[in-house]
Each structure stands twice: as structure tokens, then as C-alpha cells.
Amino acid sequence: MRIVVAYKWTCDPEEATVRADGTVDWSRAKPGISTYDPVAIELARRLAEAAGAELIGVTAGPKGVGAPIASKAALGRGLDRVVIIEDDSLREAGRSELAAVLAEAIRHIGGVDLVITGDSSVDVAAKMVPTVLAGELGWPAVAEVSAVTGQAGALRVERSIPGGVQVLEISGPAVLAASADAAVPRVPGMKELLAAGKKPVEQLELAALEVPPQNAVMAVRGMSRPERKARKGQLIDTADPAAAGTELITALREAGAL
């Protein structure tokens, strides 16, 4: 079985700061594998350990995604090899464009039985790439996946739904988006990390992939901080809980919140 895990090398917004003019300062944010992608790798590893599979990481993005540390970080988590498309023109790429690039990389790899992605990326959190990628490949997409077992062409997928677990059987290749709490990713061992640099890394040229042009172009025109509403700062004396409750409800009604 051949399993592709799509991962993202990016910065965590928690480490970025917002300037007074509303722009984001990423200079102190250290790039790493997007928070939820190790969950996808963990699901892939469990399936590979049970059924036998080659695990291939795929990523696309601007300059930096092809840095040795980025590949080692992914390979150190148990992938057998990685395929990278590093091109600065992808810096402002929309989710659809990125999905189209990933789809071409997966076609280049060939013979892929399953693609697993993280729930969403830590920086954009659009939750679009897995579904659009599936559409590009003509495969079913399943989100909120909590477990996957089985063999190529006979996959058994569990997904979390409100109140329970849905079980699906999929007879062909598919794109699965792992739910954020599907698994606790195992911590890479020291030997795995030290061996990561010896595993194969394939760089693909974006221009050579012949990604079909997008039908529409989406551009970010601006970002701004939300307006801060002045706080009322109204204090309610809670010495008498019943009276305090009445006063609170009155205040909320007057403010239009109730």
C-alpha cells in the first residue's frame, strides 16, 4: 500500500504578534510542522504498521518548505520519503491552488492508495485543502477521521460525528482528514531523528508539474484588528445572589445581549 501524508511547514500564529497597524509580525515565530499534521502521520503509521505500506510525505509552499530541517522534521516522525514543491509563487496561493499543486505531486508519485491530511493548518485553518484535493483527484473526501484500518482498496474508516462514530468502507483511494484529536502523535525517538537526514527527499519544480490554472483568483486585500468595544465596567454586588441575578438580567437586556 502507498500512503501519502500531506503536511505543512509553517509558523504558529501563537508566536506571532499583531502590530498597531494590524499587520502581523512573524519574525519571532519559529516554523515547524503544522500542529495537526503529526496526528495525520500517526494515523498513517498505525495503518502502515498493521497492513504494511510505504509512507510518503508531500508538501508545497514558499521558500523554506524545502529547508533540510523541514524535511528532517517530517521524516523523523516516521515517513519513508518526502516530495517537496518549493516555490515562492506559492506564498500567496489560495487553498484551491495549493490543493491543485498537491494533486499534481500525488499524480507524479503514482500508485497512491490513500492520502491523509491534518484537520486544518495551524496558521490558516481554512479546512479546505483536503476536500479540494480530493476533488482534484476525483476521489472521495472524508473529514473528522478518527481511525483507519484495512488494506488498499478495502479501507475501513471511522469518523467522529455528533453523538457517535460513523464507520465507512471505501473500496478505492480516498483523501482522509484526520480529526485533531484522532490520536496522540508519538514523540520521535532519538534514532529516528538522527536517521531522518539519510532518507530520500525529492524536490519537484512547480513549473514542470503543469498545474491547471485556477478559474478564479483570490487575493487578500487587507487585514485589520476588530474594533475594541469599550467595556461597560459595571460591577454587580453579589452579596444577595437573587438580587444580583435580577440586576444582571436587567443590565444584559438593556445592552441588547438578551
Partner 1 sequence: MDFELTDEQELIREAVKEFAETEITPIAAELDRDHRFPIELIPKLAGLNLMGMPYPEKVGGAGADYVSYVIAIEEISRACASTGIIVSAHTSLATWPVYKFGTEAQKDRYLADMASGRRLGAFALTEPAAGTDAGAGTATAVLSGDEYILNGTKMFITNAPYAEVYVVFAKTDPAQGTRGISAFIVEKDTPGFSVGEAEHKLGIRGSSTPPIYLADCHIPRDALLGGDGNGFKVAMQTLDGGRIGVSAQALGIAQAALDAAVAYAKERVQFGKPIATLQAIQWMIADMATQVAAARLLVYRAASCVDKGRPYSTEGAMAKLFASETATRVADRAIQIHGGYGYTESYPVERNYRDAKITELYEGTSEAQRMVISRSYLR
Site residues, partner 1 (CB under 8 A) = 32, 68-69, 72-73, 76, 184, 187-191, 193-194, 196-197
Q: Which is nearer to partner 1, 69 or 251 (CB)?
A: 69
Closest CB 86 distance from partner 1, rounded Å: 16
Closest CB 27 distance from partner 1, rounded Å: 17
Q: Which is nearer to partner 1, 44 or 196 (CB)?
A: 196
Closest CB 190 distance from partner 1, rounded Å: 4
**Alpha carbon distance 254, 258 (integer Å):** 8
H-assigned helices in the chain = 37-51, 68-75, 95-109, 129-137, 190-196, 206-209, 241-254
Q: Which is nearer to partner 1, 70 or 170 (CB)?
A: 70
Whether residue 114 contacts residue 152, with contact meaning beta carbons closer than 8 Å, is answered with yes
Closest CB 113 distance from partner 1, rounded Å: 29
SS3 label, residue 248:
helix
Cell 505500506 maps to which residue?
A: 53
Q: Which is nearer to partner 1, 109 or 193 (CB)?
A: 193
Q: Which is nearer to partner 1, 16 or 109 (CB)?
A: 16
**Alpha carbon distance 79, 200 (integer Å):** 10
Burial class (CB in 10 A: 0-12, 13-18, 19+), 16: middle
Closest CB 118 distance from partner 1, rounded Å: 16
